């Protein structure tokens, strides 16, 4: 009887790993961790608005002084976002097609609301990021604010942010979007640690409340800015429009 040998695979180990669910989840968790770091760093920078016009505008000047590195970082973050969204969508449809109906019903009953809506909150986050970039980074949605300058001749990011959030519709969009981001983080952080194998019972007792507290801190930190603007706590400098 003639032996039949399987043809050796030519796919590299990374390619084989990405064809498996665990590989996709690992890449999702790593890209998510990078994006999470950005969310925290971005919040710290944005909170400079409570220090004053000079602090926030100086922070913006510092970012621009990085030069080409700033665009490299932006491109890297955009790549991480695309990777995260791409594999999230792939896993979502693969899981839907692979599971029998009875199993789907059982999982649906046992799953939390945040986990069941993960794909939809993720899409919401992605759309918000696109809008946020067009609004405050590339100043496409409100080009009339691009000419603003402070007394030192710097681009007046401080006044631009205040003018933006004085619009009730824009503030409402941000408030709802940040709530979606924070809600997404609750299950995202848990899933990330599970992917890394950190899901024993004792660890989960700490992880669950920790992720909820973290999500609340992110929520409160970000929404504090539009609320402070609408409440008149953070005001435009004299002479601005």
Domain ranges for the chain, please list them. Answer: 21-230
Instruction: Say whether pLDDT at 223 is over 90.
Output: yes
Q: How far apart are CA 134 and CA 170, in angstroms?
A: 13
CA atoms within 13 A on the CB side of 11: 9
pLDDT confidence bin for 167, thresholds 50/70/90: very high
Helix (H) and strand (E) counts in the chain: 10, 0
Calpha distance 174→169 (Å, rounded): 9
User: For the segment 230-239, what is each residue's pLDDT rounded down to a tens digit?
Assistant: 999 999 998 7
Model pLDDT, residue 110: 45
pLDDT tens digits, one per residue of 115-128: 778 889 999 999 99
The three-class DSSP label of residue 1 is coil
Mind listing the pLDDT tens digit for each residue in 10-66? Answer: 567 677 777 788 889 999 999 999 999 999 999 999 999 999 999 999 999 999 999
Q: Which two tokens stand for residue 221?
A: 């930190």
Q: What is the 3-state secondary structure (H, E, C) of 77-123?
A: HHHHHHHHHHHHHHHHHHHHHHCCHHHHHHHHHHCCHHHHCHHHHHH
Q: Please state the rounded mean pLDDT for residues 213-238.
A: 97
What is the C-alpha separation between 32 and 191, in angstroms, rounded?
10
**What are the residues whose beta carbons fall under 8 Å from the beta carbon of 127, sequence distance 6 or more?**
none
For residue 202, pLDDT over 70 is answered with: yes
Provide the percentage of residues in the chain whose pLDDT is more than 70: 88
Q: Per DSSP, what are the bridge partners of residue 149?
A: 155
What local confidence, expressed as pLDDT, does residue 183 receive? 93
Domain 21-230 top-level CATH class: mainly alpha
Q: DSSP per residue over 158-205, as a string?
A: HHHHHHHHTSHHHHHHHHHHHHHHHHHHHHHHHHHHHHTT---HHHHH
Torsion of CA 192, 198, 200, 203, to 10 degrees: -90
Q: With beta carbons less than 8 A apart as the criterion, state whether 30 and 79 touch.
A: no
């Amino acid at each position: 009887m003639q032996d039949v040998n399987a043809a050796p695979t030519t796919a590299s180990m990374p390619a084989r790993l990405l064809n498996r669910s665990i590989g996709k989840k690992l890449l999702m968790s790593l890209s998510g961790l990078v994006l999470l770091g950005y969310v925290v760093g971005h919040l710290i920078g944005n909170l400079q608005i409570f220090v004053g016009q000079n602090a926030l505008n100086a922070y913006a000047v510092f970012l621009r002084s990085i030069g080409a590195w700033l665009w490299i970082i932006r491109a890297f973050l955009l790549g991480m976002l695309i990777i995260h969204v791409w594999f999230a969508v792939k896993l979502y449809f693969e899981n839907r097609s692979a599971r029998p109906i009875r199993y789907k019903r059982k999982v649906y009953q046992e799953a939390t609301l945040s986990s069941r809506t993960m794909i939809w909150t993720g899409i919401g986050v992605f759309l918000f990021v696109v809008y946020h970039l067009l609004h405050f980074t590339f100043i496409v949605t409100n080009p009339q604010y691009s000419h603003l300058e402070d007394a030192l001749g710097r681009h007046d990011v401080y006044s631009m942010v205040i003018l933006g959030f004085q619009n009730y519709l824009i503030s409402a969009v941000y408030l709802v979007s940040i709530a979606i981001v924070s809600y997404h983080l609750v299950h995202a952080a848990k899933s990330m640690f599970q992917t890394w194998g950190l899901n024993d019972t004792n660890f989960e007792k700490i992880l669950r409340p920790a992720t909820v507290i973290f999500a609340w801190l992110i929520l409160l930190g970000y929404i504090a800015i539009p609320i402070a603007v609408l409440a008149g706590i953070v005001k435009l400098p004299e002479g601005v429009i």
